[in-house]
Structure 1
Amino acid sequence: MTAAQSLDEDFLALADPYRRELLAHCYRMMGSLHDAEDQMQETFIRAWRGYAGYKQQSSLRTWLYRIATNTCLTALQSRSMRPLPSGLGAPDSDPTAELVQRHEVPWLEPIPNTAYDDDASDPATIVTSRESVRLAFIAALQHLPPRQRAVLVLRDVLQWKASEVAAAIDSTTPAVNSLLQRARAQLELAMPTTDTLVEPESPEEKALLERYVTAFENYDVEAIVEIFTKEAVWEMPPFDGWYLGGENIGRLISNNCPAQRAGDMRLLPSWANGQPAFGLYMRGEDGVHRPFQLHVLDVTAGGVAHVVCFFDLGLFEKFGLPQTPPT
Structure 2
Amino acid sequence: MSEISSQTVEDPDLARAREGDDDAFTRLVEPLRRELHAHCYRMLGSVHDADDALQDALVRAWRGLARFEGRGSVRSWLYTVTTRTCLDLVESRRRRALPVDLGPSSDRAVLDNAPLNDVAWLGPYPDAGLTGGADARYEQREAVELAFVAACQHLPGNQRAALLLFDVLGFSAAEIAETMATSTASVNSALQRARKIVAEKVPARTQQRALREIDDTRVREIVTGYAGALERGDAGALVALLTEDVTWSMPPLRHWYRGIEAVMDFAVEIPLTRCPSWRHLSTSANGQPAVACYLGEHAEAPHLPWSINVLTLRDGRIADVTSFVGAEHFPAFGLPDSLP
Normalised to the residue count of structure 1, the TM-score between the two structures is 0.91
Which structure 1 segments of 5+ residues have no match? Answer: none
Residue matched to 1:207? 221
**Change over 3 Å in CA distance of 1:76–1:3 after alignment to 2:** closer
Residue matched to 2:124? 110
Residue matched to 2:170? 159
Match of residue 127, structure 1, among 106, 129, 138 = 138
CA distance in 1, matches of 2:265, 2:148: 28
SS in 2 for 1:266: strand
| AA aligned opposite 2:192 | Q
Residue matched to 1:147? 158
Describe the superposition over 1:50-70 as per-residue Cα deviations: whole angstroms up to 9, x where unpaired: 112211111110000000000
Residue matched to 1:97? 110
**Change over 3 Å in CA distance of 1:100–1:166 after alignment to 2:** same
Residue matched to 2:81? 67
**Change over 3 Å in CA distance of 1:204–1:10 after alignment to 2:** same
Residue matched to 2:6? none
Residue matched to 1:189? 200
Residue matched to 2:37? 23
Residue matched to 2:328? 314
Describe the superposition over 1:206-265 as per-residue Cα deviations: whole angstroms up to 9, x where unpaired: 12222212211211012212211112111001111121122221110122227459x821
CA distance in 1, matches of 2:189, 2:93: 24
Task: Quote the RMSD (CA, aligned, Å).
Answer: 2.2
Match of residue 33, structure 1, among 47, 67, 80 = 47
**Change over 3 Å in CA distance of 1:258–1:224 after alignment to 2:** closer
Moved more, 216-225 or 193-202: 193-202
- Superposition map of 1:169-248 within 5 A: 169-192=180-203, 196-199=209-212, 202-248=216-262
SS in 1 for 2:327: coil
Residue matched to 2:58? 44
**Structure 1 position 9, deviation (Å):** 2.9
CA distance in 2, matches of 1:157, 1:202: 26
Match of residue 291, structure 2, among 278, 293, 307 = 278
- Equivalent residue pairs, number: 320
CA distance in 2, matches of 1:46, 1:3: 14
SS in 2 for 1:243: strand
**Change over 3 Å in CA distance of 1:47–1:4 after alignment to 2:** closer
Moved more, 192-201 or 275-284: 192-201
CA distance in 2, matches of 1:216, 1:184: 38
SS in 1 for 2:119: coil
SS in 1 for 2:240: helix
CA distance in 2, matches of 1:304, 1:254: 17
Residue matched to 2:3? none
Match of residue 277, structure 2, among 264, 269, 290 = 264
Question: Does the aligned pair in 1 maintain the 2:230–2:272 contact within 8 Å?
Answer: no
CA distance in 1, matches of 2:277, 2:330: 18
| AA aligned opposite 1:91 | P
Moved more, 196-205 or 150-159: 196-205
Question: Does the aligned pair in 1 maintain the 2:243–2:317 contact within 8 Å?
Answer: yes
**Structure 1 position 306, deviation (Å):** 1.1
**Change over 3 Å in CA distance of 1:71–1:197 after alignment to 2:** same
Question: Does the aligned pair in 2 maintain the 1:197–1:300 contact within 8 Å?
Answer: yes
Which structure 2 segments of 5+ residues have no match? Answer: 1-15
CA distance in 2, matches of 1:308, 1:193: 19
Q: Percent identity?
A: 38
CA distance in 1, matches of 2:93, 2:74: 29
**Change over 3 Å in CA distance of 1:3–1:20 after alignment to 2:** closer
Describe the superposition over 1:283-317 as per-residue Cα deviations: whole angstroms up to 9, x where unpaired: 21473322222111112223011111111112222
| AA aligned opposite 1:84 | L
CA distance in 2, matches of 1:251, 1:3: 60
Normalised to the residue count of structure 2, the TM-score between the two structures is 0.88
- Superposition map of 1:5-20 within 5 A: 7-20=21-34
Match of residue 76, structure 1, among 78, 90, 94 = 90
Question: Does the aligned pair in 1 maintain the 2:257–2:263 contact within 8 Å?
Answer: yes
Describe the superposition over 1:137-157 as per-residue Cα deviations: whole angstroms up to 9, x where unpaired: 111100000110000001111
Residue matched to 2:4? none
Question: Does the aligned pair in 2 maintain the 1:194–1:305 contact within 8 Å?
Answer: no
